[in-house]
Amino acid sequence: MPLLNTSLTLLAWLGRQGTRAVAALVVIGIAVPPLGALLKPLVTETIFVLLCLAFMRVDLGAFRAHLRRPAVVLAAGVWTGMLIPLLGGLLGIATGLPERAPDLFLALMLQCIASPIMAAPAFASLIGLDAALVLATLIASTALIPLTAPLFTALFLGPGLTLAPLDLGLKLGVILAGSAGVGLLARQLFGLATIERHKETINGCNIIFLFIFVAAIMENIAAQTLAAPLATVGLTVLGFVIYGVILLGSVLLFWRAGRERALALGFLCSQRNMGLMLAATGGALPETTWLYFALAQFPIYLGPYLLQPLVRRLLVDGSEDRDATERNHHSSSRRKT
């Protein structure tokens, strides 16, 4: 029992570290390559557990509230699930990427096809964004993946992916349905009150499993950087650029829906779940694709830490603008009376 209590205390402490712990995962994963080699066979199982934990914490009440006014959720689901992969594929073809760098094109297409990561609502709440909106849009876009992934895989990748499009859709459906079933069953068994009471411990578990995933895919980063520093730096910059383009483009697209909603949806759309695609393909991907997937984790896991001050500033400015508008409105009303 003392050992169990100590473990739970450490997990709760880890869960309280928030964005700092998430950012530290990347550094540790690169610094200790042997851990990556040891943990690499566990990638698929780890992603499944992370999905189970995410579904276990689904706030069904908040989800239903957003579904009562579904216009923004549906628009964001179509944007992230259909238009982003369509635009990404067309841009890749226009630049000749499938012929010049087929393995990189495969990586970029799988990134575009992927739904947002299941940890996005947790990350959103850590930096002060609307986690309920993020969650509702996440579920809507994730539900499309077994249908859209085979479509865009067949349309843009064809023989570039060893896994048949329909097999990819089936595997994605099984992973998502299975994790949803386990997560919601656990929620039913333990109850929302118990889950909320132990949320810091669950956050700590999330961070542990995120570390397994990050360490596994970053196993060769240090060696690759030494062997081909320019290529590694170039792929890292590309990962940040694509992250930023999707983030900024999504924010601008939904800006008229309100500043808070636009920031939440932009953040969600930029967090692409490449791990889910790894799990669905069983990791059977070319070396360049694996390397890009690993390097593209930098903006995903550093993003919450880097964006937190900016998001808080924008939300505070937005609140001040609304307060000033309301004060002017009340003053005008009093003068009229």
Phi, psi of 272 (to 5 degrees): -80, 135
Greater confidence (318 vs 107) lies with 107
Q: Which residue has the higher pLDDT, 214 or 265?
A: 265
Question: What would be the CATH architecture of the domain defined by 39-315?
Answer: Up-down Bundle (1.20)
Beta strand spans in the chain (E): none
Q: What are the residues whose beta carbons fall under 8 Å from the beta carbon of 277, sequence distance 6 or more?
A: 110, 111, 113, 114
pLDDT of residue 326: 46
The answer to whether 220 touches 277, Cβ cutoff 8 Å, is no
pLDDT at 193: 83
Instruction: Give ∠ CA 78-187-75 in degrees, rounded to 5.
Output: 10
Residue 25 pLDDT more than 80? Answer: no
Q: What is the pTM of this model?
A: 0.75
The residue-averaged pLDDT of 223-240 equals: 87
pLDDT bin (cut points 50, 70, 90) of residue 238 is very high
What is residue 318's predicted lDDT score, i.e. its pLDDT?
A: 57
Residues of the chain with pLDDT > 70: what percent? 86
What distance in Å separates the CA atoms of residue 153 and residue 165, rounded to the nearest whole number?
A: 6
CB 124 within 8 A of CB 134: yes
Q: Find the mean pLDDT for residues 170-176.
A: 77
Query: Of how many residues is the chain composed?
Result: 337
By CB atoms closer than 10 A (0-12, 13-18, 19+), residue 333 is: exposed
For the four alpha carbons of 186, 192, 198 and 204, in that order, the dihedral sign comes to positive
Per-residue model confidence (pLDDT) at position 18: 66
- Note the pLDDT tens digit of each residue in 127-162: 778 877 887 888 788 888 888 888 898 888 876 666
Burial-class residue 239 by CB neighbours within 10 Å (0-12, 13-18, 19+).
buried
Crossing angle of helices 60-67 and 131-152, in 10° steps, is: 70
> What is the phi-psi region of residue 273: left when phi exceeds 0, alpha when psi lies from -120 to 50, beta otherwise?
beta
Structure tokens at 3: 């050992």
Output the pLDDT for position 317.
65
| Better-scored residue on pLDDT, 115 or 225 | 115
DSSP 28-73: HHHH-HHHHHHHGGGHHHHHHHHHHHHHHT--HHHHHHHHTS-HHH
Question: Which residues does 243 contact at the CB level (< 8 Å), separation at least 6?
Answer: 270, 296, 299, 300, 303
Domain residue limits, the chain: 39-315
| Residue 20: pLDDT over 80 | no
> Among 24-38, 247-261, 315-329, whose mean pLDDT is lowest?
315-329
262 compared with 281, residue with greater pLDDT:
262
Q: Partners of 116 in the beta sheet?
A: 272
pLDDT single digits (tens) 271-318: 998 877 777 776 677 888 888 888 888 888 888 778 878 877 877 765
Does pLDDT of 257 surpass 60?
yes
What are the CA-CA distances from residue 59 to residues 45, 121, 132, 275, 325 (Å)? 24, 10, 7, 23, 32
The mean per-residue pLDDT over the stretch 79-84 comes to 93
Amino acid at 35: L
Angle at which helix 19-31 crosses helix 297-336, to 10 degrees, equals 160
pLDDT score at 162: 60
Q: Which residues contact 194 (CB under 8 A, 6 or more apart)?
A: none
Q: How far is CA 69 from the centre of its chain?
A: 24
Q: What is the mean pLDDT of the chain?
A: 80
